[in-house]
Structure 1
Amino acid sequence: MKTKAIRESLSLGEGQSVEFIPDCGNIGVIGQTVCGFLNTSGGYVVCGVDDRGTAIGVEDPDAMGKSLEQGLQQGLSPGALVAVRAYEVEGKALLVIEVPAGKDLPYAFENVIYLRTGQTTRKADVETIRDMVLRKQVEPERWERRFSSADMNEDLDLNEIRSTLKEVTASGRFRFRDSDSPTAILEDLSVSRYGRLTNGGDVLFGTNPAVRYPQVRVRAAVFRTDKTGDTYQDMKSYEGPLVPVLEDVYSFILRNTPTVSRFRPTDLKRQDEPFYPSGAVREGLVNAFAHRDYSDFSGGITVHIYPDRLEISNTGRFPEGVTLAKLQKGTLSVLRNPDIAHVLYLRGYMEKIGRGSILIQRACTERGLPLPQWSEDDRGVTLTFFATEVTTEVTTEVTTEVTTEVMQIIGVLDGEMSRRELQDVLGLRNVEHFRKAYLQPAIQEGLVEMTIPDKPRSSKQRYRLTQRGLVLRGGESS
């Protein structure tokens, strides 16, 4: 297999610079090449391919990948988001290092600045370095790097810092100088300087950054019809540290979209899956959080769920160098918020810097859904997932499964109701019988949900129909 076929197999973006290196253990050569890509327009380093363009493979790619990430982390200055991923091409394990164009020029590897010229990497001359430094002084500091007004003693979410430390340490991608010091951890992640939190650090680790920056709130809504402005079936506003908010929004999408049941030939058990591929939805959400324009105080992220589609929108235009055509093919770009993206990558939320769009398209195709679409206008960028005939498929699947008791609770549940209200409407007195025969099966089938799922025994607990429950009751979401 020659280099062109390898590029195609790895879905490397057209027009992107690619360097093939046979020896993954040569961190010196790899680091110089990565540094050159950072200082120019980005590119890919593919390890495990010889000078003739033949894939020779990499031994123990997982261990080698972690070793490369740590070596690059220690050698590069300033720190940069460089993703290392293992792939298999015709039975050979290859390591691909994805390098976006850097935003903190000039970058150095082991205190030497390198540039990429055509297909070669060279040391930068004095005039080029001088030009880089002057340009950096002229360009305004990006929003995520500016200092936040957050108080490091009062406004930090220490649980988020601990969670990040645990996940990053377990991944082996990064080494912290002092795991016992929250301040040192934030400095190592480049979200704190001189004892002050940056805006990026506030978004990631502030207890409630929305107090200082209302544009970080995320709004999610479910519509009964395909027209915005019609009656909301469900609507929420989320605020807090970035990752917990991302997870809450993801859960909102899951509970407000149907579940599809499938029987695979090799498994007699039914497999329940979210209607929209979960990996594609997560990738779309992560991209919205990582690439949005946080400096726009009137902006934000919105999620709109309609009977026939799911829309994830964020403020800001496409990142530099990205067009609709390139996005569909996968392309590396200048990251709008590299510090935020770096933390997401280290925590395992962002695996592909420039090819997440390919993952999203592939997942939808494998699920038998139409290809998703990206669009751009003055309000921002929107990723739209399209459904097929949801109502027929979901109704057929659930009507053959549910009991008469579950159908009764679905028939009387109006808006949000308490357990006592439901029992009264159904004329049932025995609490235990109601829970076991009616309420619990309805929740387990995904037809009814709690309004406070984290506190199932709360005195303020209410119950409501999910989208599947509404469909089963009579197509109210269609």
Structure 2
Amino acid sequence: MSETNRIEYKQELNNDVDIEKEVIAFLNYHEGGIIYVGIDKQGKVVGVSDIDSDMLKIKDRIKNNISPSAMGLFDVVAESKEGKELIKIIVAGGTEKPYFKKKFGMTEKGCFIRTGTAAEPMPQSFIDKLFASRTRNSLGKIRSNRQDLTFEQLKIYYEEKGLNLTKHFKQNLELLTEDNKLNYVAYLLADENGTSIKVAKYSGTDRVDLIENNEYGYCSLIKATKRVIDKLELENKTISKITYKERIDSRLWNAVALREAIINAIIHNDYTREVPPKFEIFSDRLEITSYGGLFEGMTQEDFFDGLSLPRNKELMRIYKDLGMVEQLGSGVPRILQAYNKDCFKFSENFLRMIFPATEKIPMQVNTQVPMQVSTQVEELIKIFTGEHTRQDLQDKLNLANRENFRKNYLQSALDEKLIELTIPEKPNSSKQKYRLTEKGILMKERLI
């Protein structure tokens, strides 16, 4: 296979190989591209002798030598071909063009664009034009309306992956604006925010009869994502058919495609209008809707080919850190392995994925909600509006006796599984809060 407008070969990595130049050219190219290290210009596989060291060097060079930050816009992965190890650098087209070498700035020495099979210097007039039209409304540039944000949940998720966030994590994860204020990415990932993702369930094929309306949010977007995944995994029931030969089990929706679709909708949602994605279950299908149409210049064919143009590169980078996303551009192709292109509906402001169910979905209201609870528990359930500290709940109920509140309100609601801890792995944490469970939400709907 020869080089193309989207594929570049490098025989080896050394000081004479300008890897930054090639990456910048693809960042400035609307389709992005792939760089292979370990293949010569004739397409012959020669392999890489010290793959771990070279991969580390490549990541370090891209991270430190290119501006604006390319974090979240590239992957460096190992591949095997003809029995030899290669390095594959996947580069997405960036939204903050022009990208350039920090050493030379926005000049023809620092900016490059992919032309045919080569990375060529970008004319100064084109550099100036791109800079003038650079996207200003990205999440990383929008200042959070709150600057008192905390990130205990995010730290826990990183620790679970064996990664520790240092005191400089806000800078490293690009949670700050240029004037060193917390940005909207930080707001979405904070322990408390106003973003809530809805998972609704209807009894029929339209939106007339709502039988469940669950909210997952007011917390780190990572936690909300995990809760949505858990909820839809629960809804993705196994349907069994007994034939005279065998028992055939199938799920309502393909599990791999479903997970990819959930994460894609959340990561690539346009949060600048404060409209979160939504998930709706009907008796015959699942609909997943995210706000924000295709990027200007991106076609549906580009989309289906898996060309990656991350709307929120900061979120993409963090979800990759936490192992919730694999290679750039892999999500849509995975979905297409189970569902055809007709399942995707495009509009100017929305992208909707419609997954038909393999069988008619049994619609049942959750009957596990207790019909009778104490008056104290009812009072507690009514005041929940998101996540609350113990003291906040006690103050809202205007209760002075701490033990009375703990025993007759808080513990009783926990025993009934109407509320849950936000940090269950650290029950005595000073950051501990409480929120309604699904049963609690249904109970509140009955009480109000």
TM-score using structure 2 length: 0.70
Which whole-Å deviations, capped at 9, do the CAs of 1:138-177 have from their partners, x for residues lacking one? 545124133434444x32223314534764848xxxxxxx
Which whole-Å deviations, capped at 9, do the CAs of 1:424-478 have from their partners, x for residues lacking one? xxxxxxxxxxxxxxxxxxxxxxxxx97667699x9x98979xxxxxxxxxxxxxx
For 1:115, the equivalent position in structure 2 comes to: 112
- 1:96-245 counterparts in 2 under 5 A? 96-109=88-101, 111-112=103-104, 113-116=110-113, 117-124=115-122, 127-128=124-125, 131-133=126-128, 135-137=130-132, 139=134, 141-152=136-147, 154-161=148-155, 163-164=157-158, 167=161, 169=163, 179-181=165-167, 184-193=168-177, 194-204=179-189, 206-210=190-194, 216-233=195-212, 235-245=214-224
- 1:27-426 counterparts in 2 under 5 A? 28-41=17-30, 42-59=32-49, 61=51, 64-80=54-70, 81-109=73-101, 111-112=103-104, 113-116=110-113, 117-124=115-122, 127-128=124-125, 131-133=126-128, 135-137=130-132, 139=134, 141-152=136-147, 154-161=148-155, 163-164=157-158, 167=161, 169=163, 179-181=165-167, 184-193=168-177, 194-204=179-189, 206-210=190-194, 216-233=195-212, 235-259=214-238, 275-297=252-274, 299-333=275-309, 335-362=310-337, 364=338, 373-389=343-359, 415-418=367-370
CA separation of 1:50 and 1:254: change in aligned 2, threshold 3 A: same
CA separation of 1:50 and 1:271: change in aligned 2, threshold 3 A: farther
Report the CA distance between 1:43 and its aligned residue: 1.6
Report the CA distance between 1:380 and its aligned residue: 0.7
CA separation of 1:462 and 1:137: change in aligned 2, threshold 3 A: closer
SS at 1:382's partner residue?
strand
Q: Is the 8 A contact 2:111 2:127 kept in 1?
A: no
Report the CA distance between 1:91 and its aligned residue: 4.2
CA separation of 1:260 and 1:28: change in aligned 2, threshold 3 A: farther
CA separation of 1:224 and 1:24: change in aligned 2, threshold 3 A: farther
Q: Is the 8 A contact 1:226 1:306 kept in 2?
A: yes
Q: Is the 8 A contact 1:22 1:51 kept in 2?
A: yes
Q: Is the 8 A contact 2:92 2:307 kept in 1?
A: no
Q: Is the 8 A contact 1:147 1:199 kept in 2?
A: yes
Partner amino acid, structure 1, of 2:280: H
Corresponding pairs, count = 371
SS at 2:35's partner residue?
strand
Q: Is the 8 A contact 2:252 2:358 kept in 1?
A: no
TM-score using structure 1 length: 0.66
CA separation of 1:59 and 1:288: change in aligned 2, threshold 3 A: farther
CA separation of 1:35 and 1:309: change in aligned 2, threshold 3 A: same
270-279 or 235-244: bigger deviation: 270-279
Cα distance in structure 2, aligned partners of 1:274 and 1:24: 47
CA RMSD of aligned residues (A): 3.8
Cα distance in structure 1, aligned partners of 2:438 and 2:96: 50
Report the CA distance between 1:221 and its aligned residue: 1.1
Query: Which stretches in structure 1 are left out of the alignment for 5+ residues?
Result: 5-14, 171-178, 211-215, 263-269, 395-409, 422-448, 465-478
CA separation of 1:318 and 1:27: change in aligned 2, threshold 3 A: farther
Q: Is the 8 A contact 1:291 1:319 kept in 2?
A: no
SS at 1:249's partner residue?
helix
Partner amino acid, structure 1, of 2:312: N
CA separation of 1:121 and 1:324: change in aligned 2, threshold 3 A: closer
Which whole-Å deviations, capped at 9, do the CAs of 1:58-87 have from their partners, x for residues lacking one? 456566434422332122223212112333
Cα distance in structure 1, aligned partners of 2:91 and 2:285: 33
Cα distance in structure 2, aligned partners of 1:306 and 1:62: 48
CA separation of 1:123 and 1:322: change in aligned 2, threshold 3 A: closer
Cα distance in structure 1, aligned partners of 2:353 and 2:438: 33
CA separation of 1:25 and 1:228: change in aligned 2, threshold 3 A: farther
Report the CA distance between 1:384 and its aligned residue: 1.9
SS at 2:171's partner residue?
helix
Which whole-Å deviations, capped at 9, do the CAs of 1:280-336 have from their partners, x for residues lacking one? 222212221222221224x32110122332221111111233333332222233x32
- Between the aligned residues of both structures, percent identity stands at 21
For 1:469, the equivalent position in structure 2 comes to: none
Report the CA distance between 1:111 and its aligned residue: 1.6
Cα distance in structure 2, aligned partners of 1:27 and 1:315: 44
Q: Is the 8 A contact 2:204 2:282 kept in 1?
A: yes
Cα distance in structure 2, aligned partners of 1:40 and 1:110: 18
- Select the structure that is richer in helix: 1
SS at 2:293's partner residue?
coil
Partner amino acid, structure 1, of 2:98: P
